[in-house]
Amino acid sequence: MRRALTAVALGAMVSALAVQPALGGHGGGDYVLNLAAPYVKRLVDEGDPLIFVDLRPVGEFRRQRLPGARSVPLKELRRRFSEVPRMGRVILYCDCVPEELHAAYRFLRDQGYRNIMVMEEGFPGWVKRGYPLER
């Protein structure tokens, strides 16, 4: 059993550190730093002061969100991007197709943000694992 858990933990870390090309034609050097939900949860459990930015519509955010998350809806990001902290480790998530999330990541990178990451599988991935939520 211990060996299986170690393999799962190793797989989560490898996925968490995977840098994948972002879609959208910004050239070969345009990458998105993706973190696997189990790795993000482990960081939370270890007390890492992550800053979650929820890109879902406000109504969905109000119903449920990751603990301590801030709401900056995807459709308002260009106008409200200054609300995303420039210090600390910021994790972006939503309930959208990866291309939309990657576009948000690229937009923030273009604004000079170097402290942002994307949580793979977004909000649905967090929920399906039964991780804690706020209401």
pLDDT tens digits, one per residue of 22-48 = 434 444 346 889 999 999 999 999 999
pLDDT higher than threshold 50 for residue 16: no
Cα atoms in the 13 Å half-sphere on the side-chain side of 72: 21
Residue 135 lies in a domain: no
Reported confidence tier of residue 21, pLDDT bands at 50, 70, 90? very low
Buried b (16+ CB within 10 A) or exposed e, 59-86: ebbeeebbeebebbbbeebeeebeebee
pLDDT of res. 14: 40
Structural domain containing residue 112: 2-128
Residue 92 lies in a domain: yes
pLDDT of res. 8: 42
pLDDT of res. 27: 42
Averaged over 96-101, what is the pLDDT? 93
Give the pTM. Answer: 0.80
| CATH classification of the domain holding 114 | 3.40.250.10
Residue 133 lies in a domain: no
Which has the closest alpha carbon to 94: 51, 60, 131, 68? 60
Number of domains within the chain: 1
